[in-house]
Structure 1
């Protein structure tokens, strides 16, 4: 598609005219700006801080898609998302999912049990550290029927990144109190997922706990070995010990335990 510079400048004007904008107004202006340059099907903006439940700042989903992309995602799967991992580092810039995903991502239980439900061909994110330990990720998505972004479109997103980052830091540079308020309001509501992970950790060593997260994210034994600085054979031994300690025999069962859908053995 050809860039619509009239739409682009109009969207930018809404972001820089000095008015106090709410999340929806900023999100809509961002989407309008990017739609003037490239085509995409969905957009969602999340703020991440540590392992806390991400805050959904804006999205373009209908009710059904919102349940999958936001509500279900916030209930645990985000912890295994390559975008969450990149936001936690943080890893600023514009990143394609395929550049961040582990080597076995598309064969992982996370992909099979959650990500496949999104029906996406590709997702690209603007990763912006916004201060106070918060990273804001603005995602653009294409459905399978629309196909992946072309290299030229990705290059255009990278050129827009300084402007997007400046807007995010200006508008969402003080999200810490919102996370604090959210954590305080939920302090007596430990989710099944959090409790399940705590019970799993009680049964495993720190090294084993790290390995199960890497396994569920989609890392092969070879990839885990490189990340942890151990031999591939050692990783395989750890994986066998993990399954034995947890009384399971498959990655699907491990995922169910991790997300609190299956009881951790006493």
Structure 2
């Protein structure tokens, strides 16, 4: 589809007065802006700060899909998400999921048992650092029936990135305070927030720091070769650690590993 200038101007109009808007209004403005450029099925906007539970700023899911894409995701699987790791790096700009995913992501157990449930053909995200610690990711999603974004569409999204970044930075400038408020409600300190439920999983399962680092990368979808390069150790050493972890946990597959991980997130 071509650019719908009427939709585009309608989306830009409420942004011209410069006053701050709420999450729903900002998210809606982003959705309308993007829909003037191309078709997509869903929008979701998350804010990330380190390993803390991400903030759900806006989404267009129905109640059923909201459970999968937001509630379940916030419970712990976000820690295995390539978008989460890119946000923490951070890697500003517009990125396709397949550009950020580890080399074995699409054959990983996380992908097969969680991500594939989304039925997505592609996800593209605008990564906008808001502060030294917070990054907002505004995602556009297409289901398999719609198909992935074409090269010309992706190029158009990259051209729109400065406007989207300015929108996010202006209206979501206070996110550090909102993360602090969310922590206060749970009674957890900022220091404790650096150790999310997943860290407790490794302690509960009695893994060493090196074993935990390797297994976490396995769950994210990294091959033994990729893990070795990231950690500065040989592929053979990675494989030895993986065998030791499987033996220690009494498991024989990545399916069982992910099941243990999810089961122990609440411990």
When normalised by structure 1's length, the TM-score is 0.93
Deviation digits for residues 84-142 of structure 1 (CA, Å, limit 9, x no counterpart)? 00001001000000000111111111101110110000000000000151100000000
Change (3 A) 1:185 1:6: same
Q: Structure 2 stretches of 5 or more lacking a match?
A: none
User: Equivalent residue of 1:259, what SS?
Assistant: helix
Change (3 A) 1:196 1:91: closer
Deviation digits for residues 164-220 of structure 1 (CA, Å, limit 9, x no counterpart)? 1111111111101111111121236x9xx9556424236222221111111001111
Q: Structure 1 stretches of 5 or more lacking a match?
A: none
User: Equivalent residue of 2:51, what SS?
Assistant: coil
User: Equivalent residue of 2:123, what SS?
Assistant: strand
User: Equivalent residue of 1:44, what SS?
Assistant: strand
Matched residue, 1:98: 98
Bigger shift: 148-157 or 207-216?
207-216
Tell me how far apart the structure 2 counterparts of residues 177 and 113 of structure 1 sit (CA, whole Å).
35
Equivalent residue runs for 1:152-167 within 5 Å: 152-167=152-167
Question: Are the equivalent residues in 1 in contact too, given 2:48–2:55 (CA < 8 A)?
Answer: yes
Bigger shift: 103-112 or 254-263?
254-263
Number of residue pairs the alignment of both structures matches: 263
Structure 1 counterpart of 2:208, from 197, 205, 209: 205
RMSD of aligned residue pairs (Cα, Å): 2.1
Equivalent residue runs for 1:117-266 within 5 Å: 117-187=117-187, 194-195=196-197, 197-201=199-203, 203-261=206-264
Change (3 A) 1:226 1:167: same
Tell me how far apart the structure 2 counterparts of residues 258 and 197 of structure 1 sit (CA, whole Å).
10
Q: CA deviation at 1:7?
A: 1.2
